Amino acid sequence: MAKPFFVLSPCGTSVLTNATDPDLRNVINRHSNAKTEDEVRQASIEEHRRIADHLTAARQRMTAADHADAQKISAELNGILSLYDGNCGGRKSDFHQLLCTDTWLGEESAKCVQEWLKGNGLVAELRRQPDLRTKELAAFHSALSDLVEWCEKEIDPWRQSRHVVFNLTGGFKSIQGFLQTLAQFYADETVYIFETGPELLRLPRLPLRMAADETVKEHLSIFRRLSLGLNVPPEDTNCIPETLRMNLDGQACLSPWGDLVWAQTKKTIYAEKVHAVEGLTSLLAFGNDFDRSVADLEKTRVAMVNERIDDLVRHLEKRSQDGKGHNPPSLDFKQLRGNPSSPSTHECDAWSDQDAKRLFGHFDTEGRFLLDRLDKALH
């Protein structure tokens, strides 16, 4: 039996601009980057009124639209319904994820698409991606980086049970190329409407593999620090390719392409071995028995230990700055009561499923945290 679909559709403002008076379309485009309705109202009461009236009419038109009309009104629905050969009946197991800009009109347009899908018995959720608008380049880059992380955490797992489709028929041009690249790593196929007719152009996932493993391994500590949002002097990042890094407000960070490379190569690199922390931070070190305690772990557990060390590094670095740190539930760094496991005075989670394990350690006289061992939880 064929898998149900997971369909990601970036949403633009086609429901507002298709077959619209050119003057009104210009008004809509002029306010396309406004984050809130109040921002449009403050810019021009008259133009806000025209857009609001048009939006109300668009909702009514969408509510009354049958399948054929919906395809004419919305570029996004044109792609979705073409995927269904013009009829979405019997597709209640499919899941539709709509992605819109961080703008008032972007979200309102996507809501029209969402309401039509729900009204026709389909499951549809809307994600308004923070900072995804073209007004500020730095914020836009940040939004693209967040999209990589979201795809890795939220969309990639869907491929176990769903046929993942990126529907790039609609949406906004500023994101199209980036999503087309992401599709090669997170989608099973990409669909478009062929320019010369109503036919759906379907592009399968290609057997691509990131060829940047050696670059990441060679500069692993820098990639780890940048991925954790920790300070790295911009001049220290000159050793990695320019396309993978950038500076925002004087701070070095991974570019959206760098985030994609890291997300793809990290899976393999973190499963190979527990990586040393020299060069990663001066606040953490491995004790004499730590390497022995993590020997012979299966690959998935090795990757988990590396992930947890990253969490611990971020916590220690943040704590050195603000006295509080960053201690999420997945880390749960805390002091041991009494002295049940000398020399260890603190513990944090390594993993919590099956044979739950903890990382035990203590602070030395220089203020570094020494990881003593990986071991079973204390009772």
CA distances from 61 to 49, 57, 125, 174, 317 (A): 18, 6, 21, 27, 54
The widest CA-to-CA distance across the chain, in whole angstroms, is 76
Phi, psi of 324 (to 5 degrees): -115, -45
Mean pLDDT per 10-residue interval, the chain, length 379 residues? 90 89 93 94 95 95 93 93 88 94 95 96 95 80 89 90 94 84 91 73 76 88 95 92 86 90 93 95 96 95 97 96 93 87 91 90 95 88
Q: Which amino acid is at 194?
A: F
pLDDT of residue 114: 97
One CATH from 3.40.50.10770, 3.40.50.2300, 3.40.50.10470, 3.40.1390.30 for 5-204: 3.40.50.10770
CA distances from 125 to 8, 14, 114 (A): 10, 19, 7
CA distances from 372 to 329, 331, 341, 376 (A): 21, 16, 10, 13
User: What are 251's two structure tokens?
Assistant: 């701070």
Cα-Cα-Cα-Cα dihedral of 85, 91, 94, 95, to 10°?
90
Provide the strand spans (E) within 275-368: 284-286, 334-335, 346-351, 357-363
pLDDT of residue 208: 63
Look at the block and give the residue holding tokens 């019997």. Answer: 90
**Closest of 286, 309, 378, 370 to residue 337, by C-alpha:** 378
Contacts of 363 (CB under 8 A, 6+ apart): 345, 346, 369, 370
pLDDT of residue 309: 98
pLDDT of residue 249: 77
pLDDT of residue 345: 94
Model's pTM, two decimal places? Answer: 0.80
pLDDT of residue 201: 87
Query: Strand, coil or helix: what is 203?
Result: strand
pLDDT of residue 353: 85
Give me the residues paired with residue 124 across strands.
96
